Chains A and B, each alone.
Chain A
């Protein structure tokens, strides 16, 4: 009985090992796999990117969304991701300078744009009046991402300062943990309006549910978004393929449709 079990498990091991070897040999048939840590403003855009990427590549993509700062802290501790798509250039550069990335794997894939957004049920004529809609009437809360660590929060503060309304609006600010949560504050009506990423308000699920005003890009520092491939990437070729797609004409077209501006080639 015991002998039979030993023999059968040995046979199983041999079969598995053989299977493993043959799988390794047929690299062309193997499916690639990329684990992506993505900034919250990519929440909707990446869905379209992955659909486009999947049509031409035999690679599975698993995405985790969150704030770039959280991912940075996790990646310092070697979180199991292959590709990091940050909402700024600072975090990827910092990871690269600490030697945690594959050499020369840094890239800039998109430029973030800010919009002021209010739900359709709101009486604020944001699309017509822009920031003036906020100062003319008595709003209670304006949601922005936390400027202490979220790139969109810092940009929102800069844009309000350029418009000369920051001091007046400051007592009314509430802070979302990241830009997607900030959007949720406005969608739920808890905040009267929010300054968020255009990539979020361009999403199919959001379009038509509110009014928006595009904040002039000259009024806040340019929001280049960069990425890196991590040194411990399990499947660097698949990660490179996804990076290549993001930088390709197809990838750029999807990102542009999703509300991002594009970096110069």
Chain B
């Protein structure tokens, strides 16, 4: 069993989820409440990773963070080392890759909050930002949990993007899906099936616990 790879995947998935929570909520908020017409363009960009093959995304990310791109060069000047084949590089790729899995459930839930509650809050003199935090967010727990779980699970199972930008370094970029792939390639089918089974169980447990939490404790059913 490749525990190092499993732990790396868990760390990557957790970091990705945190970043997506931080940037996903503002993006979803803007998509739902902004009056701008061109927000459909942003909506489409956010959804692109759903339809693009991971290899395309991975290829573009590799080009974008490599030393031949302005972004890659700026990062080297700033930090002292490049992004390819690092955890940070993988994190950027994963955030892009899982963006729709966070933003779409967030936005759907924000949009379904009763408009009258929001406006009532405004008429009581509560600012727009405070209304968002004290009315919209508490009413959107279901969508937030869904987005968090989907982002985490999706990153855990990420393969093509990691293959393209990772470089397969143990403890840095060799995630659990790459490790399974390597075992299959080395004809070590026993190791591959052990790790696969563990990943299957972990994913299943995550999803079952989320769905049961949603059903019982966390959220009162909406009328």
Residues on A lying within 8 angstroms of B by beta carbon are 67, 69-70, 72-73, 121, 140-141, 143, 146, 148-150, 174-177, 181, 184-185, 188-191
C-alpha gap A176/B68 in the complex (Å): 19
Quick check: A141 and B185 within 8 Å, CB to CB? no
Quick check: B67 and A189 within 8 Å, CB to CB? yes
Chain B 157-186 interface mask (CB, 8 Å, partner A; 1/0): 000000111011100000000000110111
Quick check: A191 and B63 within 8 Å, CB to CB? no
Residues of B within 8 A of A149 (CB): 182, 185-187
Interface: B110 (CB within 8 A): no
- Give residues 67-95 of B contacting A (CB, 8 Å): 67-68, 72, 81-82, 84-85
Chain A at the B interface: mostly helix, strand, loop or mixed? Answer: loop
Quick check: A69 and B68 within 8 Å, CB to CB? no
11 A-B residue pairings within 8 Å (CB atoms)? A70-B185, A146-B185, A148-B182, A149-B182, A174-B169, A176-B168, A185-B84, A190-B62, A190-B67, A191-B84, A191-B85
C-alpha gap A150/B186 in the complex (Å): 9
- Shortest B60–chain A CB gap in Å is 10
Quick check: A189 and B66 within 8 Å, CB to CB? yes
Residues on B lying within 8 angstroms of A by beta carbon are 62-63, 65-68, 72, 81-82, 84-85, 163-165, 167-169, 181-182, 184-187
Other than A70-B184, A190-B65, give 18 A-B pairs with Cβ distance below 8 A: A140-B82, A141-B167, A146-B182, A148-B185, A149-B185, A149-B186, A149-B187, A174-B168, A175-B167, A175-B168, A175-B169, A176-B167, A181-B163, A184-B62, A189-B67, A190-B66, A190-B67, A190-B165
With A174-B168, A175-B167 as contacts: A189 and B187 at CB distance below 8 Å: no
With A149-B186, A188-B62 as contacts: A174 and B85 at CB distance below 8 Å: yes
Quick check: A69 and B187 within 8 Å, CB to CB? yes
In the complex formed, the residue of B with least CB distance to A177 is B163
With A140-B82, A188-B62 as contacts: A177 and B67 at CB distance below 8 Å: no
- With beta carbons under 8 angstroms apart, the residue of B68, B81, B163, B182 that contacts A189 is B68
C-alpha gap A181/B164 in the complex (Å): 8
Quick check: A188 and B185 within 8 Å, CB to CB? no
- Shortest A184–chain B CB gap in Å is 8
- With beta carbons under 8 angstroms apart, the residue of A72, A121, A185 that contacts B167 is A185
- Shortest B3–chain A CB gap in Å is 18
With A69-B185, A70-B185 as contacts: A188 and B81 at CB distance below 8 Å: no
- Shortest B73–chain A CB gap in Å is 10
- With beta carbons under 8 angstroms apart, the residue of B84, B184, B185 that contacts A190 is B84
Residues of B within 8 A of A190 (CB): 62, 65-67, 82, 84-85, 165, 167
C-alpha gap A110/B223 in the complex (Å): 71
C-alpha gap A167/B36 in the complex (Å): 58
In the complex formed, the residue of A with least CB distance to B69 is A189
Residues of A within 8 A of B62 (CB): 184-185, 188, 190
- Shortest B30–chain A CB gap in Å is 33
- Shortest B62–chain A CB gap in Å is 5
Quick check: B167 and A174 within 8 Å, CB to CB? yes
Residue of A67, A141, A175, A181 with highest tally of chain B CB at under 10 A: A175
With A121-B68, A140-B82, A141-B85 as contacts: A191 and B185 at CB distance below 8 Å: no
Residues of A within 8 A of B163 (CB): 177, 181
In the complex formed, the residue of B with least CB distance to A76 is B187
Quick check: A146 and B168 within 8 Å, CB to CB? yes
C-alpha gap A189/B71 in the complex (Å): 13
Quick check: A72 and B168 within 8 Å, CB to CB? no
Residues of B within 8 A of A143 (CB): 167
